[in-house]
Amino acid sequence: MWIFGYGSLTWKADFEFHRRVVGYIKGYKRRFWQASIDHRGVQQQTWTFFQPGRVVTLVPGDLTDIVWGVAYEVSDELLSEGSSLNIREKSYQERRQETVYAADGASFSALVFIGTSDPSLRLGPAPPEDMARQIARAVGPSGPNSTYLFNLATFMRTEVPHYKDEHLVQLEELVKHLQDTVQIK
Ligand SMILES: N[C@@H](CCC(=O)N[C@@H](CS)C(=O)NCC(=O)O)C(=O)O
């Protein structure tokens, strides 16, 4: 079977796979609208700087909207109950089959993990400057939220150089700018 990743799965494949193919799916926009309290941030705690991170999910777009990522051909057992991938994707409970269009022209169906409908993890949109401040500050068990953003931006720049993801590029610029100033110290 195939799974399609558009977030951390593009740059962190800590599982066995047979093939890795760069491609896109249609009809969605990738947005930093999902809270992370287990990887790139923590539960909000009053009177402290501890806060959730912002990671990507997919939101419905129109047919001209595409999201580039990576498809992996994996064994069925990878998604068995209690598997490490299932645990890693536990806050991505909505799962859909989508057609992946590979860079070489091939197309095939793959499983996509989309953000949970749990309202506490659905942050939704915010002004870009606010999202950038949150990403610049948040840290979780897997590391800084900004590393997640930069790794995704680097994947796009190196493996999909012909396509500009405006939302991602804007956040990367804003977070880098914040890190270059004293505003978040
Ligand atoms: N399901 C998405 C998003 C997955 C995602 O970003 N998952 C996060 C959960 S916060 C993760 O596994 N993060 C590992 C990390 O940040 O190191 C994908 O297709 O890549």
Domain boundaries, the chain: 2-180
- What dotted CATH number matches 2-180? 3.10.490.10
Tell me which amino acid residue 93 is: Q
Q: What value does the mean pLDDT take over residues 29-42?
A: 95
Q: What value does the mean pLDDT take over residues 151-173?
A: 98
Please tell me the distance between residue 179's alpha carbon and the centre of ligand 1 in angstroms: 23
Q: Which amino acid residue places its CA nearest to atom 8 of ligand 1? A: 8
Catalytic annotation, pick one of 16, 81, 89, 173: 89
**Which pLDDT belongs to residue 183?**
53
Q: What value does the mean pLDDT take over residues 8-16?
A: 95
CB 18 within 8 Å of CB 73: yes
pLDDT grade, residue 182 (50/70/90)? low
Give the contacts of 181 (CB within 8 A, at least 6 positions apart).
Answer: none
User: Cα(55)–Cα(84) distance, rounded to whole angstroms?
Assistant: 19
Give the pTM.
Answer: 0.93
pLDDT grade, residue 96 (50/70/90)? very high
Decide: 148 in ligand 1 pocket, CB within 6 A: yes
pLDDT grade, residue 159 (50/70/90)? very high
Active site residue 73: no
Q: Comparing C-alpha atoms, which of 125, 128, 119 is closest to residue 174?
A: 128
**Which pLDDT belongs to residue 44?**
81
Residues counted in the chain: 185
Please tell me the distance between residue 7's alpha carbon and the centre of ligand 1 in angstroms: 5
User: Cα(137)–Cα(92) distance, rounded to whole angstroms?
Assistant: 23
pLDDT grade, residue 142 (50/70/90)? very high
Q: Which amino acid residue places its CA nearest to atom 11 of ligand 1? A: 8
pLDDT grade, residue 118 (50/70/90)? confident
